[in-house]
Amino acid sequence: MKTLNEKDKNELLGQALKEGESYEAKVWGCLMADTKTLMSFAAVGGSLAGAMGALTNQYCYVGMTNSKFVFYVMETFDCYKVKGAFEVPFAQIEKVKVKKSLLPGRHVIKIYVSKQCLKLSLATNTIGTDIQNQKEGIAMILEEIKKNINEKGEVKRHGIN
């Protein structure tokens, strides 16, 4: 069984970049949503394949550019297989909420688009992987959200960045 790793993260996320784009942060996370929600996000900007349960936790690689989040959803037991990929442009995000977990180094980010909520769990722990800069990447994502989201979770301006 292959685990999440730096090479795959960089290779996969690199495929989603358009000319002139770059990532401000690249991390791994866990998407927590039902199949309907994941499919609705994929319909906006990507695709998802394969059977998922009613409630599903999916490992993913997450990239943040200056205009969007990019998600590559991986198979749960074979992390080298891509289940699907999608993007969430900042301009489409209506609301974002961040909760700090009781567990140290863990945050749950709720991203709302078209009345759908995608939960993303991010943890600074990379034990068992060779993922690099996880802590710094999460800090960059949280800082970007903090700069552009008001206390009610509403986007202060059109799009996060």
pLDDT higher for 41 or 31? 31
Dihedral sign for Cα atoms in the order 104, 159, 97, 111: negative
Q: What is the pLDDT of residues 42-60, one digit of tens each?
A: 655 555 555 454 447 889 9
* pLDDT tens per residue across span 84-101: 889 999 988 999 999 998
- Rounded CA gap, 52 and 83, in Å? 10
How far is 58 from 83, CA to CA, in rounded Å?
A: 9
Within a domain: residue 160? no
Q: Residue 46's pLDDT is what?
A: 57
**Which tokens in the block code for residue 85?**
């990929």
In a domain, 154, yes or no: no
In the predicted model, what is the mean pLDDT of residues 144-160?
74
Query: What's the total number of domains in the chain?
Result: 1
Q: What is the CATH number of the domain that holds 118?
A: 2.30.29.30
Which of 29-38, 111-120, 152-161 has maximum average pLDDT? 111-120
Radius of gyration of the chain (CA): 15
Non-local (6+) Cβ contacts of 15 within 8 A are: none
